[in-house]
Amino acid sequence: MHRTRTLWRLAAALAFMLSMATAGAAPAATPQVQKSRADAQAFIDESTARYNAGLKSSSKPGQTIVPAAGPVWTADLDTWVEYTFPASSGASCMNGTPYRMYYKIASEASMRDKVLVDFEGGGACWDFDSCKPGSKLGASNPDGLASGYIQGDGILTKTATALTSPVLDGNTFLTNAAAYFVFGRGTGTLDNRSWWNFPKFTSQPETQRWTKLVFPYCTGDVNSGASFRVFEDPSNPQNSKKANFNGLNNVRAAMAFLRQNKFAESLSSRKSIQQLLVYGASAGGYSSLANYPMIREALAGDKTRVAMFDDSGPILPAPIYKQREEILASDLDKTPAVKFWQKVTDAWGWFQQPTAADAKTPGHPEYAEQAKGLVARWEKATGEKVELLKSRGGDTGNLNKVLSKRYAQDRLGLGSFQQDQVISSFAFVGGQNAEVVGLTGDAFREAKMKLFTKEMNLVRAELGPLPNYGYYMPWSRYVLLGSHVTTALTFAGTDIWRASNLRDDGGRIAPEFNGDVGFFLNNLVSTESLASLPVLKEVGAPGESFSVGSLIGTVLSWFRVFDGSAA
């Protein structure tokens, strides 16, 4: 879950992000009492008033803002437009300050009713220590989102580099050339793999030309929370931190805004969205999955072709235990992420139900809806039972199964490097697994990767039988983000090769596959049926093919770079 403040480095704009040093174990979190939505709204109102009082200017050069009269969707084509949610909407960042959404309507008429929903990445937090400034296991934008977070006509040069991805925005020729030089090929096309066809070799995904909705990240909860918490400092009980884990409500407010202003109907004469891709990377990958049913319900029509690309936000399977319930050693051995899930789902309120105060607050009937946790939101949107608790025979893998069953014609996909140094740290350092506590250097890396491999094998086993849920798992790209995020900055260095007439990792006889994560993206957004074009289920062999990047990665490994807890 990469952090927006981490620096990109690499010549010709191919910068790579250095992660932080190895983290030790944090003190155990104290279970928190659920606060009401009235408490949360009071926090939002107070924080927003204080924020507005401190404003010196409301605009920046190149910034376009939704007019007071409301959006005119085709007024500013191919330009990023900012909408700030009023405090009354219930939307806010974790610190209670205003939340903002950005959109860019495609200038090409044929692309306008194809929509990419993008969630920004940036870590996570769940207790006082992980949510305090400078935490090694922390989340981006803890101080909220400044107006002008995205400006003008491009993400790459105007805002946080954590948003930079070929799925969303194009790179310069020099960036592509540098990526090719460092990592080898990386295209998203099946032909023209030669230097003299370099312009075609680095062809842009169609999604770059679609209409785009971008959700910046400032809630610390992978946009899966609806819980207002007050965390006490374990080393100083007089000190506390208020955290409004509000991601679900931000998306809820955004969908209400889009529906009220007839977004889907206004994009073309067809009066509906033709294609919809819900995408995110790292924390944004988790966000794309967490909010998929609600986004689909709000934006997709009967004929909309819908897909999801969760990049590097794997739902590591594990049963979720209730607070203070003893975790069985057998479960911890089989699914080592169980300790992490217990912590974060409690903090973010996944199983939360409205309090009596939420249901009875005069004039605010929406409080009861805003107070519902992720499980209740999914069950309402999908009409399916979502069983995750150990006590009821469930586990986190049921999230994927519910999606696959409920949206059987959608094309769903997970991308992840097998050697992801970041997600493995969040899951197992964050969960304080005994196997990694107190370790450093090579021992730390090997211990957490052993646990991560165990979990990723379970992910593949769960997704393998699902006919519409694919996955793409290259081995590593060590020099870039510590093998985190398959679509970060470039598709180069994500190659997988498999001979023809062999079984793919889903057990199907398939033609030769020789491509990169761009192929996976194109497969997910294809309008062909699942029968004629199955979703890809590809896993790379251990070890990186030789390239400048793999050589740099080897050297960096000697100095234990990228083995830290977060990026």
Specify the length of the chain in residues.
567
pLDDT tens for each residue of 432-447: 999 999 999 889 999 9
pLDDT band for position 185 (cuts 50, 70, 90): low
pLDDT of residue 5: 31
pLDDT of residue 17: 31
The whole-number average pLDDT for the span 22-42 is 63
pLDDT band for position 198 (cuts 50, 70, 90): very low
Closest CA to 126 of 250, 15, 283, 236: 283
Radius of gyration of the chain (CA): 22
Question: In angstroms, rounded to a whole number, what is the distance separating the alpha carbons of residues 205 and 318?
Answer: 35
Q: Within a domain: residue 181? A: yes
Residue 390 domain boundaries? 8-558
What's the farthest any 2 CA atoms get from each other in the chain? 69
pLDDT of residue 155: 62
396: CB partners within 8 A, 6+ apart: 315, 316, 317, 318, 319, 320, 337, 341, 388
The whole-number average pLDDT for the span 36-64 is 86
The whole-number average pLDDT for the span 516-539 is 94
Question: What H or E segment, with its residue span, contains residue 17?
Answer: strand 16-17
pLDDT tops 60 at residue 10: no
pLDDT of residue 566: 38
pLDDT band for position 42 (cuts 50, 70, 90): very high
pLDDT tops 50 at residue 104: yes
pLDDT band for position 25 (cuts 50, 70, 90): very low
What single DSSP character describes residue 239? E
Could you give the number of structural domains in the chain? 1
| Percentage of the chain lying above the pLDDT 70 cut | 83
Question: In angstroms, rounded to a whole number, what is the distance separating the alpha carbons of residues 138 and 133?
Answer: 8
Least confident of 69-83, 178-192, 298-312: 178-192
Cα 86–281–65 angle (5° rounding)?
30
Q: Within a domain: residue 566? A: no
Q: Within a domain: residue 44? A: yes
pLDDT tops 80 at residue 519: yes
Q: Within a domain: residue 478? A: yes
Q: Within a domain: residue 479? A: yes
Q: Within a domain: residue 565? A: no
pLDDT tens for each residue of 459-482: 999 999 999 999 999 999 888 888
The model scores a pTM over 0.85: yes
pLDDT tens for each residue of 332-346: 999 999 999 999 999
Q: Within a domain: residue 567? A: no
Q: Within a domain: residue 34? A: yes
Quote the mean pLDDT of the chain.
Answer: 86
